[in-house]
Amino acid sequence: MFYSQLAYIYDSNMVNKRMSTENVENFIHEHLKEDLRVYENQLKQLNAEIMEYVQLKHMIETILGQDRREGFKTQVNIGGNMFMKARADNVDHILVDVGLKVYVEFKIDEALRFVEMKIKVLTKQADVVRDKSIETRANIKLALLVIGDAQRLHTIQDDR
């Protein structure tokens, strides 16, 4: 899509015998940089979600590594990074946020499998968004090169 839009700008300006750097700059600022901002926000959200599931995975692995008859002692974030000591007597089942603030009760080993699967899915989504971000950055550099080449051609023509 980028190349066709850039080609359109180039072709429409060939009528004037020169490519307007204004059109390319507008294209960069209105489309490419906005796309890049959206991708970076998506990537930030996905990374935050991955980190939450990684923390949950470590907690589940800690629970599985302990004697479950004793229960489980932890600190729970009650908001605003304020923590409260908590004790769970029965850790055979836990509630896991599966998305959209929907919680499902899992057996502890099922929860571990779900969390591992969720981390894989989110990582693949983050990889796709990261690739789109890299492509958009490359397109911005390409557009800036087009501007530089157009300006260099105009100075060469003006010198003649």
List 88's β-bridge partners, or say none: 72
Tell me whether residue 148 is in a domain.
Answer: yes
pLDDT of residue 159: 59
CATH number of residue 55's parent domain: 1.10.287.370
Tokens of 127: 């990889």
Q: Profile the chain (160 residues) by mean pLDDT over runs of 10 residues.
A: 54 47 81 93 97 94 80 84 89 90 94 97 98 94 82 63
Candidates 64, 116, 54; CA nearest to 94 is 64
Tell me whether residue 2 is in a domain.
Answer: no
Which segments within the chain are labelled E, that is strand?
72-77, 83-88, 93-99, 102-107
Specify the number of domains making up the chain.
Answer: 1
The type of residue at 11 is D
pLDDT of residue 17: 36
Tell me whether residue 40 is in a domain.
Answer: yes
- Please enumerate in sequence order all residues whose Cβ is within 8 A of that of 159, keeping only pairs 6 or more positions apart, or say none: none
Tell me whether residue 84 is in a domain.
Answer: no
Q: Which domain holds residue 27?
A: 22-65+93-159
Give the whole-angstrom CA distance, residue 17 versus residue 152.
14
Tell me whether residue 82 is in a domain.
Answer: no
pLDDT of residue 143: 84
The SS3 of residue 101 is coil
Tell me whether residue 76 is in a domain.
Answer: no
pLDDT of residue 14: 45
Which residue carries 């926000």 as its tokens? 41
- Please enumerate in sequence order all residues whose Cβ is within 8 A of that of 5, keeping only pairs 6 or more positions apart, or say none: 27, 31
Tell me whether residue 85 is in a domain.
Answer: no
pLDDT of residue 57: 96
Tell me whether residue 101 is in a domain.
Answer: yes
